[in-house]
Amino acid sequence: QKEVEQDPGPLSVPEGAIVSLNCTYSNSAFQYFMWYRQYSRKGPELLMYTYSSGNKEDGRFTAQVDKSSKYISLFIRDSQPSDSATYLCAMRGDYKLSFGAGTTVTVRA
Amino acid sequence: DADVTQTPRNRITKTGKRIMLECSQTKGHDRMYWYRQDPGLGLRLIYYSFDVKDINKGEISDGYSVSRQAQAKFSLSLESAIPNQTALYFCATSETGLAGLDNEQFFGPGTRLTVL
Phi, psi of A70 (to 5 degrees): 55, 55
Decide if pLDDT at B114 tops 80.
yes
Q: Which residues of A touch B (CB under 8 A)?
A: 4, 6, 8, 32, 41-46, 49, 88, 90, 92, 94-97, 99-102
Residue B95 contacts residue B102 (beta carbons within 8 Å): yes
Q: What is the pLDDT of residues A67-105, one digit of tens each?
A: 999 999 999 999 999 999 999 999 987 777 899 999 999
> Helix (H) and strand (E) counts for chain B?
0, 11
- pLDDT score recorded for residue A31: 87
Q: What is the pLDDT of residue A46?
A: 93
* 3-state secondary structure labels for all residues of A2-53: CCEEECCCCEEEECCCCEEEEEEECCCCCCEEEEEEECCCCCCEEEEEEECC
Q: Identify which has the larger pLDDT, B87 or A51.
A: B87
Tell me which residue in B42, B58, B90 faces A43 most closely, judged by beta carbons. Answer: B90
Q: Residue B102 above 70 pLDDT? A: no
DSSP state of B116: -
- What is the distance in angstroms between the Cα of A6 and the nearest Cα belonging to chain B? 9
Length of chain B: 116
A14/chain B closest Cα distance in angstroms? 24
Predicted confidence (pLDDT) per residue in B10-31, tens digit: 999 999 999 999 999 999 999 9
Distance from CA of B71 to the nearest CA of A (A): 19
**Do the chains contact at B90 and A44, CB–CB below 8 Å?**
yes
- CA A101, CA B40: separation in Å to the nearest integer? 5
